[in-house]
Amino acid sequence: MDDLRQKYIEAIANAADESALEDLRVQAVGKKGEVALKMRELGKMTPEERQVMGPKLNALKDEINSALAAKKSALADAALDERLRTEWLDVTLPGRGRRQGSIHPISQVTEEVAAIFADMGFSVAEGPQIESDWHNFDALNIPGHHPARAEMDTFYMHRAEGDNRPPHVLRTHTSPVQIRSMEIAGAPLRVICPGRVYRADYDQTHTPMFHQVEGLAIDKDISMANLKWVLEEFVKAFFEVDDVELRFRASHFPFTEPSAEVDIRCSWEGGQLKVGEGDDWLEILGSGMVHPKVLMAGNIDPAAWQGFAFGMGIDRIAMLKYGIPDLRAFFDSDLRWLRHYGFASLDTPTLHGGLSR
């Protein structure tokens, strides 16, 4: 019996896995196992022998059973340990360092501009990029023979054979959205219209597609003074400075009367632009009081209503604010450029949270 005990206790201790353990259980304490065979021999013994051997065999059976159970749970523990070891994960490691995508400076600046004007009660309006000749020109007091048409380097859409209507154009400015906004909403009105515009031009400061934002405010008592205040508020908020000086230069646009181009005081010390101080002036936009003919084209009575309008280059103010030297790089999709000049995607510009941080 001692041989039997030693044989099985040792074999159980060395069992490699659960199925080896099961084989041992059948061999040792199964119905036809070695312990059962010994039990059968009890019948041939004398009652005295039986009284000694019976309990011993039962004790051996119990001992083997509990060795099997202990080994079984030891094997399960080892399996769990192994799994935990291979599936180990260091949750204290820092997150991914490099951000996967970023917000393009044009999108960033458009959001910044919208946030600033929203605070002054302007909503955002949009219009089509393929625009009717009428909305892009005539309605803005630029008739067919007007030299402004030639100056704009307009892209014309293809016209079907025999179609004598004026061809549509890729809009050359965002001003047609003035007309569309008046048509849709009437007066009073306060909108900005950001978007893509197109002109056939290409050099360091010109690309055939670029971005403008139009502003239009129409009400009963609107003057150049309102225009000046709104633009000053905008420039201070946009360039994130406390004080700015604007210069209104008399100019001419067919759709505004009077018209002014607006410059901001700045300096270029060491090639770095500083807004608000210095001896230089930087042109940033065109503006004026909406021409009565333009109000009429938008179905608004010029005897009852007045308004101001302005148009600004988004790419241009983005270059100025963020020190980007070449306009063409905006549209090259160069990943290195995008990583350098792009903005974190979760930093939405707001006036309370900060525009650019």
Q: Which residues bind ligand PHE (CB under 6 A)?
A: 173, 175, 214, 253, 256, 286-288, 309-311
CB of 354 to ligand PHE, least distance (A): 29
CB of 333 to ligand PHE, least distance (A): 26
Hunting for tokens 């291979």 — which residue is that?
Answer: 86
Between 67 and 152, whose beta carbon lies closer to ligand PHE?
152
What single-letter DSSP state applies at residue 100? Answer: S
What's the rounded Cα separation, in Å, for the pair 339 and 99?
9
In 3D space, the residue among 344, 329, 337, 357 whose CA is nearest the CA of residue 100 turns out to be 344
Between 24 and 142, whose beta carbon lies closer to ligand PHE?
142
Between 173 and 265, whose beta carbon lies closer to ligand PHE?
173
Token pair of 173, please? Answer: 């400015």
Between 254 and 349, whose beta carbon lies closer to ligand PHE?
254
Q: CA of 163: how far to CAs of 137, 143, 167, 356, in Å? A: 19, 20, 9, 49
DSSP string covering 3-71, please? Answer: HHHHHHHHHHHH--SHHHHHHHHHHHHSTTSHHHHHHHHGGGS-HHHHHHHHHHHHHHHHHHHHHHHHH
CB of 149 to ligand PHE, least distance (A): 13
CB of 211 to ligand PHE, least distance (A): 11
CB-nearest residue to ligand PHE: 311
Residue 186 Ramachandran class (φ > 0 left, ψ -120 to 50 alpha, else beta): left
CB of 326 to ligand PHE, least distance (A): 21
Between 125 and 309, whose beta carbon lies closer to ligand PHE?
309
Parallel, antiparallel, or unpaired for β 274-275 and 169-170? unpaired
CB of 167 to ligand PHE, least distance (A): 20
